[in-house]
Amino acid sequence: MEKSSNLFTLSLIFLLSVHSGAGAGRRTTGNGSNPSNPNLKNAYIALQAWRSAIKDDPKGILNSWVGSNVCDYKGVFCAESPQSGTIVAGIDLNHGGLEGILVKELSLLKDMSLLHLNSNRFSGTIPDSLKDLFALTELDLSNNLFSGSFPIITLQIPNLVYLDLRYNLFSGPIPDLVFNKNLDAILLNNNNFEGQIPQTLANSPASVINLANNKLTGDIPISFGYSSPGLKEILFLNNQLTGCIPQGIGLWSDLQVFDASFNSLMGHLPDTVSCLEDIEVLNVAHNKLSGELPDLVCELKSLMNLSVAYNFFSGFSQECAKLYGRNVEFDFALNCIPGRQMQRPEPECDMIPGGSLSCLRIPSLKSLSCGALLKSLNSSSP
């Protein structure tokens, strides 16, 4: 389960307020081809350079990219600025099927705040000149064919808050800096990123972080949970993560979606999960977790989907059995729970993976209120 950033919704409202008419940029007032307007002159240079670098346009989007009136170009959105007159405020070419590359001249679009290129066939690398886009707040390059290492240049765009690199061919490690930036959405899933998750994860103020479907290894950082309390969704699923689920998970009081399924996590599910009062989706299926499923987890009032299937849990209480009566989707198949159907064969349960693994846990945490959790965790940290 994945929700779009609120920022994306706001951007759509912005574009609709600036122009009417689906798929085509329109100027509201002023002259979109005014030769005395340096912003539009630079926009013309940038867009024509880009047009020449696009090799295939199956939907004929660029047929309108002729003449000096860039505000009539399809997918180009103009607005009126009190200081600069008519400006190019955004470009939305989502689902265009365009094949080509990004060109360095795009840095001439100094007033552009949105660049959405979802679902095209752009390839190559990201031009270094994009760091000069001071007004850019949203960059969506998802579902393309970009490759190479993480495009560090995107982290040098001064005012960027929404970064979407999903469904590309990026590889190598995720840089520490990505979680030190003031980004509200960090969407890196479905690439070939590898190596460990940076310890700077705890520094991120993002509300949505998606690292799913990569080749990440090692532990979830122990500092996990000590970051901004505004995180609402975090997805680690389908990587190669090991170790424990950190106890700090309970500090994210606003968390709604936590998905760490299809990894090799071990140990017990921390009791601090019970502090996630807004959690709706909790998925730790297809790991090597063990122990009993804590009662406090099953008592979470906002829970809509709880999946612990394909682990080595040894039991759960009546409180968890009541989940079906609350219309909560609860999947506990293929564990080691006696007397329950669809469990692992007994020989598989004789040797619990990670039985000797020591996870950092606070003794008798069940007696602590969630309000006292932060104080307790901080006092136990080195």
> At a CB cut-off of 8 Å and minimum separation 6, what does 357 contact?
243, 244, 266, 267
> At a CB cut-off of 8 Å and minimum separation 6, what does 21 contact?
none
Span 104-129, mean pLDDT? 97
Range picked from 118-122, 244-248, 378-382 for highest mean pLDDT:
118-122
Report whether pLDDT(328) > 90. yes
Count CA within 13 A, CB hemisphere, residue 314.
Answer: 11
Span 228-257, mean pLDDT? 91
Give yes or no for a contact between 164 and 184, defined as CB atoms under 8 angstroms apart.
no
Q: Using one digit for the tens of pLDDT, what is the confidence trace for 215-232? A: 999 999 988 777 667 899
Reported confidence tier of residue 150, pLDDT bands at 50, 70, 90:
very high
Report whether pLDDT(24) > 60. no
Q: What is the pTM of this model?
A: 0.88
What is the strand order of the sheet 257-259 is part of?
Answer: 76-81, 85-92, 114-116, 138-140, 162-164, 185-187, 208-210, 233-235, 257-259, 281-283, 305-307, 329-331
Q: What pLDDT sits at residue 35?
A: 61
Percentage of the chain lying above the pLDDT 90 cut = 71
Reported confidence tier of residue 171, pLDDT bands at 50, 70, 90:
very high
Residue 288 identity (one-letter amino acid):
K
Q: What pLDDT sits at residue 372?
A: 52
Residue-averaged pLDDT of the chain: 87
Reported confidence tier of residue 21, pLDDT bands at 50, 70, 90:
very low
Query: Lowest-confidence range among 12-21, 177-186, 315-324, 352-361?
Result: 12-21
Span 141-153, mean pLDDT? 98
Span 12-38, mean pLDDT? 48
Span 289-303, mean pLDDT? 92
Report whether pLDDT(5) > 60. no
Among residues 151, 229, 230, 134, which one has the least CA distance to residue 188?
151
Measured between its terminal Cα atoms, the distance across the chain in Å is 35
Reported confidence tier of residue 378, pLDDT bands at 50, 70, 90:
low
Q: Using one digit for the tens of pLDDT, what is the confidence trace for 120-146? A: 999 999 999 999 999 999 999 999 999
Report whether pLDDT(16) > 60. no
Can you tell me the distance from the alpha carbon of 233 to that of 209, in angstroms, rounded to the nearest whole number?
A: 6
Report whether pLDDT(118) > 80. yes
Span 89-93, mean pLDDT? 98
Among residues 189, 132, 134, which one has the least CA distance to residue 165?
189
Reported confidence tier of residue 361, pLDDT bands at 50, 70, 90:
low
Q: What pLDDT sits at residue 355?
A: 66
Span 82-87, mean pLDDT? 90
Q: What pLDDT sits at residue 227?
A: 62
Higher confidence at residue 173 or residue 83? Answer: 173
Span 11-33, mean pLDDT? 43
Higher confidence at residue 348 or residue 10? Answer: 348
SS3 at position 255 = coil
Q: What pLDDT sits at residue 377?
A: 54
Report whether pLDDT(380) > 60. no
Q: Would you tell me how many other CB atoms lie within 10 Å of the CB of residue 33?
A: 16
Give yes or no for a contact between 271 and 249, defined as CB atoms under 8 angstroms apart.
no
Span 311-327, mean pLDDT? 90
Can you tell me the distance from the alpha carbon of 53 to that of 106, in angstroms, rounded to the nearest whole number?
A: 12
